[in-house]
Chain A
Amino acid sequence: SQQGEEDPQALSIQEGENATMNCSYKTSINNLQWYRQNSGRGLVHLILIRSNEREKHSGRLRVTLDTSKKSSSLLITASRAADTASYFCATDRGDYKLSFGAGTTVTVRA
């Protein structure tokens, strides 16, 4: 069943701006992951943050995790047209299954 809720549902920004999206979940987790999906394609893993971590960076991506609030955020800095995609958070409860949120659709305008 779907555990994550993402906010906003859609986001439109200018190239070079930062994009922030949030994910909330309901039950305790082992880790939280973010995936990107280009239109009509499969999902690509971006970054994983474990339940004992608070912040993680990968290139232009920054993820935070607040387990007390059961929420996470994904920041994409200095956005590019190629960042246009849907972004999904997924929670892992340690049973090798992921529960995905409904996603945030990001459009980066040139």
Chain B
Amino acid sequence: DAMVIQNPRYQVTQFGKPVTLSCSQTLNHNVMYWYQQKSSQAPKLLFHYYDKDFNNEADTPDNFQSRRPNTSFCFLDIRSPGLGDAAMYLCATSSFHQGMSTDTQYFGPGTRLTVL
């Protein structure tokens, strides 16, 4: 089945120790998103890729970066995690082309990040 896969499902890191979360998709969608979701809150968009074009949200901290080496894979790098970065990180995809799009987003199961 076509899907969005996130690894690992649970990640524990130490304060200040860089961490990378990964996302892959078999949907061949051209747009990939990274969201941060804290407990009982709405998912907050960090950034997204439209094809190879990177788009950062204005309030995303510089501590967060992303890479998309090809259509299928996208990575979230947290350079120096703080206690406030502990959250669920959700990857999503969609297909968007002018005049024709899926409109909906397809989410992975998320990676729960704990910062000690």
Residues of A within 8 A of B (CB): 1-2, 4, 30-31, 33, 35, 40-45, 48, 88, 92, 96-103, 105
Among candidates A48, A92, A100, residue contacting B42 with C-beta atoms closer than 8 Å: A100
The answer to whether the Cβ of B94 comes within 8 Å of any Cβ in the partner chain is yes
Chain B interface category by residue count? 20 to 34
The B interface is mostly helix, strand or loop, or mixed, namely strand
Among candidates A30, A44, A92, residue contacting B107 with C-beta atoms closer than 8 Å: A44
A45 contacts B110, C-beta separation under 8 Å:
no
B45 contacts A102, C-beta separation under 8 Å:
no
The answer to whether the Cβ of B41 comes within 8 Å of any Cβ in the partner chain is yes
B103 contacts A43, C-beta separation under 8 Å:
no
- Known contacts A88-B42, A100-B42, A41 near B110 by CB under 8 Å: yes
CB distance from A45 to the nearest CB of B (A): 4
CB distance from B109 to the nearest CB of A (A): 5
Query: A33-B104, A42-B109, A100-B43 are known contacts; what are 7 more A-B pairs with Cβ within 8 Å?
Result: A4-B42, A45-B104, A88-B43, A96-B50, A97-B45, A97-B48, A102-B40
Most buried by A among B4, B42, B59, B96: B42
CB distance from A58 to the nearest CB of B (A): 13
- Residue of B at shortest CB range from A95? B96
A42 contacts B90, C-beta separation under 8 Å:
yes
Q: How far is the CA of A82 from the CA of B105 in the complex (A)?
A: 22
A45 contacts B42, C-beta separation under 8 Å:
no
Q: Could you say which residues of chain A place their CB within 8 Å of the CB of B68?
A: none
Q: Could you say which residues of chain B place their CB within 8 Å of the CB of A48?
A: 103-104
Most buried by B among A42, A43, A44, A88: A42
Interface mask (B58-93 → A, CB under 8 Å = 1, otherwise 0): 010000000000000000000000000000101010
- 10 CB contacts below 8 A, A to B, read A42-B107, A42-B109, A43-B43, A43-B90, A43-B107, A44-B107, A45-B104, A88-B43, A102-B41, A103-B42
Among candidates A4, A30, A96, residue contacting B94 with C-beta atoms closer than 8 Å: A96
B42 contacts A101, C-beta separation under 8 Å:
yes
Q: Could you say which residues of chain B place their CB within 8 Å of the CB of A103?
A: 40-42
